[in-house]
Amino acid sequence: MRGCAAITVFLATLIGATASHAETLNLLIWEAYIDQALVDRWTEKTGVTVHQINFDSDDARDDILAAGGSNVDVVIVDENGAELFGNKGVLEPLSPGNLPVLNDYAPAWADRCAGYGLPYFSGTVGILYRSDVVKEPPTSWRDLMSPAQGLRKHISMFSDHDELFVPPLMLLGASINVNDTETLRAAFGILKAQAPFVLTYNYVITAIQDSAISKEIHMALGYSGDQHVLNEKVGKPSLWRYSVPEEGTLSWLDCVSIIAASPQKKRALEFLSFIGSPEGAAANALSMTMPTTSTQALKLLPHEVRSNPEIYPPAEVLARSQYLEQLSIESVQARRRIISTLANFQ
């Protein structure tokens, strides 16, 4: 799913519409995280353009939401963010009453958005690697955290207080939601030892677009599905691959939410209905090579997609996965302090 936000703007335009009269929805979203053809069809149907504002970490997005006063109408949040910002009144409550398409989503998914979002994509956190350099697929978080000497200054991590701590906490056999100081100190020790091997703490999809370092990144912490974006960015199909370590990982869910203060709430609800419909969700999933959370959309996907373990993880992977929970304020602060010191050890 990546600080300061790396902001990239894309404005879809309707053929024949005049810019002075065009409506616009501002969508805060990860880069390359929605099918552009689907967005274009929405614009063609409604005359409403979608202005994408990209963030590259959960922390960057959360800082934008916490600051308030932005012009965002629709946002992609993780399940914890949906609950947190929903309870704070930042996000509009959503239910089958104002968003009937929610009926197409199993309660197991919808409930995780806490009544403040439409389930979007789900996935895991794992290790991304260049298959032409890293010949043996990594099988353990140790391959990333205690890497071979040849990977010195060839690793990309990212400075998010949740995901960055998944590898060390998994190696410690601890919960990824741990709050206690001693366990976080032990995780810091693992991150500190890894730091000399880290080229950048920028999210790999952001880092791969930096020509000064892109060819030097050989392994990275990332999300399932990122390998497809990386391969598109470098123009080499199947170069980047993805592995879920044997110790287990984070199983995540993203939700699409509406900003409660948005003056475009009616249009935003229409947009969610469009992309969350069986046809819209299926098209989005196929384009992004990601798993749909819509029961009805799943029925529209080819068997080879539904049975692809890279898209729909097998039960044994999910059995070793953990979900994010709300961390204490002290834990978040401690994790951010740790992150701020890691550059000193590179």
Task: Give the CATH H-level superfamily of domain 123-250+321-345.
Answer: Periplasmic binding protein-like II (3.40.190.10)
Give per-residue burial for 319-343: e unless 16+ CB within 10 Å, then b. ebbbebeebeeebbebbeebbeebe
- Longest alpha-carbon distance in the chain: 62
CA distances from 334 to 73, 188, 327, 341 (A): 32, 10, 11, 11
The pLDDT value recorded for residue 68 is 87
Pairwise CA distance, residues 267 & 256, whole Å: 14
Q: In the CATH hierarchy, which fold is given to the domain comprising 9-122+253-311?
A: D-Maltodextrin-Binding Protein; domain 2 (3.40.190)
pLDDT tens digits, one per residue of 82-96: 999 999 999 999 999
Pairing mode, strands 249-258 and 219-223: unpaired
Identify the residue with better confidence: 83 or 2: 83
- Nearest Cα residue to 80 out of 260, 324, 258: 324
Count Cβ atoms within 10 A of the Cβ of residue 181 and give its class: 0-12 exposed, 13-18 middle, 19 or more buried. Answer: exposed
pLDDT tens digits, one per residue of 122-181: 999 999 999 999 999 999 999 999 999 999 999 999 999 999 999 999 999 999 999 999
pLDDT tens digits, one per residue of 244-279: 999 999 999 999 999 999 999 999 999 999 999 999
pLDDT exceeds 50 at position 9: no
- Would you list the domain boundaries of the chain? 9-122+253-311, 123-250+321-345
